[in-house]
Structure 1
Amino acid sequence: MRRLTLTLLIALGGTAHAQAQEAPVSTCLAIAERLPGVRYASLDAPEGPVRLAQNGRDEVTITYVHHATYMIESADGVRIATDYSGYHGGGEPPDVVTMNKAHSTHYTDFPDPGISTVLRGWNPEGGPAKHAVTVGDVLIRNVPTDINRYGTFEADGNSIFIVEASGLCIGHLGHLHHKLTEEDYAAIGRLDVLMVPVDGSWTMSQAGMGEIAQRLHSSLVLPMHRFRTPIGRFLAQIPDFAVERREEASITLSARSLPRQPTVVLLSGV
């Protein structure tokens, strides 16, 4: 049987940014699973904007801040705060913030003026938000999802944000309310690190989130948005994943240091 090999170069359109000199190129995008014999695309961009850090390092540091906010720091020092509501843990403001609309604990109408790039997970003018921007050695893009909880529906009110840095694909599910479609999974692509809400009430059920975690099969799963929910309820949905509890709020990793077995890491404060 003839082997099918595809090389796919995808240039993402979207929000313009002053630091982006050319169309951002994703290295994490999947192609549709229904294509025979093909799972992931090979995206070889010889001079792509997402590159190894200028200092030669390839590590990314992720710190749990609070609620659904993680601080991601790239090898070149670009700092991204997820689901930013106005608090980032102190110190200098981050370079980039992502926000989601479901609740005021996931966004602010008054971001710190020192933040150079503010990415809302919804489009104030209507329709889906579309982001694909490069900031330093980082590409940030989004996959829109709907707000659909407790009788409230708003199409494209939430976004799954994907941060690509140092060869790592880091996904933040935001305030996800519903199962993902095949098109959603294809648009997300490979995720090495998955940030997942595990409250089981305001967002999806633990069973629903567990199903997504199983499907994405990320090497590292970072829970968030837990409230007082026993973490065991979520862990029971993914029994094949290892579990690691840390006393620190931060973890530093690279593509080479990812665990071989999918692992849930509980950082301090979660």
Structure 2
Amino acid sequence: MQIEWKGHSSFVLHSDNGQTVLTDPFNEQVGLPVPNVDVNVVTVSHQHGDHNATGLLPGTPIVVDGIGQHTVAGIGIHGIAAYHDAEQGALRGKNTIFVITVDEMNVCHLGDLGHPLTPEQVAEIGKVDILLVPVGGFYTIDAQQAYDIVQQLQPKIIIPMHYKLDERLVYPIAPVDGFLSFYQEVKTKDVLKITKTSLPKESQVILLELK
């Protein structure tokens, strides 16, 4: 599998057999270049313009935006109910956590998670190989909460998202530094290329560059 970061909470997952999944495409209001990629499947964690801009994508990808088990283009996608805030959705609504199984690896995309995970959610998420976790706070969990969730899920690879990349991004969220301060070693890559057998034995933080 190959993972590219398009900015904000948007990633492209490339399977070894040529299938592609895009997570949370955003619109031009974010301030970063809008993802313009032709993919098979798109996941949408919630219905805000910086996460659901499927209409701006080329082609006719299949959109997955709900909880439950889905199989699309041979890829298993499990949607788990969560909230965008710590008030059970009263402030910003619902959020869907997705566990996407690609090349026998489970990629967990937390979307705009706004609260700590319950034991029931941790159990439903199950084994996580690669965690895509928001760290910027304000609209989502912050750096400390993200670190706590990493301890709950124990992924092999941790990729931060939804943070203040640079001045182009218009939202009042924090840079990634606060989250990275919890770790002694961080690797930076332009693209993550990984197989089940090459997953690290100990948790590893990887900072993806904008692709």
Bigger shift: residues 111-120 or 191-200 = 111-120
Residue number among 186, 192, 200 corresponding to 1:243 in the alignment = 186
Residue number among 48, 70, 73 corresponding to 1:136 in the alignment = 73
Within-5 A mapping of 1:148-167: 148=85, 153=90, 157-167=94-104
Q: Which runs of 5+ in 1 are unaligned?
A: 1-59, 121-128
Instruction: Report whether the alignment pairs 1:147 with 2:93.
Output: no
TM-score w.r.t. length of structure 2: 0.83
Deviation at 1:85, TM superposition (A): 2.8
Deviation at 1:112, TM superposition (A): 4.0
Instruction: Report whether the alignment pairs 1:89 with 2:35.
Output: yes
Instruction: Report whether the alignment pairs 1:208 with 2:145.
Output: yes
Paired position in structure 2 for 1:257: 198
Retained in 1: the 8 A contact 2:84–2:139? no
RMSD of aligned Cα (Å): 2.5
Paired position in structure 1 for 2:13: 72
**What letter is aligned with 2:119?**
E
Deviations 1:76-113 (A, max 9, x none): 1111111123676334x211111133631011363647
**What letter is aligned with 2:24?**
D
Paired position in structure 2 for 1:104: 49
Larger radius of gyration: 1
Task: Give the distance between the partners of 1:103 and 1:90, measured in 2 at CA.
Answer: 18
TM-score w.r.t. length of structure 1: 0.66
* Higher percent of residues as helix: 2
Within-5 A mapping of 1:180-195: 180-195=117-132
Paired position in structure 2 for 1:175: 112
Task: Give the distance between the partners of 2:71 and 2:154, measured in 1 at CA.
Answer: 26
Amino-acid identity (%): 27
Paired position in structure 2 for 1:199: 136
Task: Give the distance between the partners of 2:93 and 2:177, measured in 1 at CA.
Answer: 31
**What letter is aligned with 1:186?**
A
Divergent runs of 4+, >4 A? 149-152
Paired position in structure 1 for 2:179: 234
Task: Give the distance between the partners of 2:43 and 2:93, measured in 1 at CA.
Answer: 15
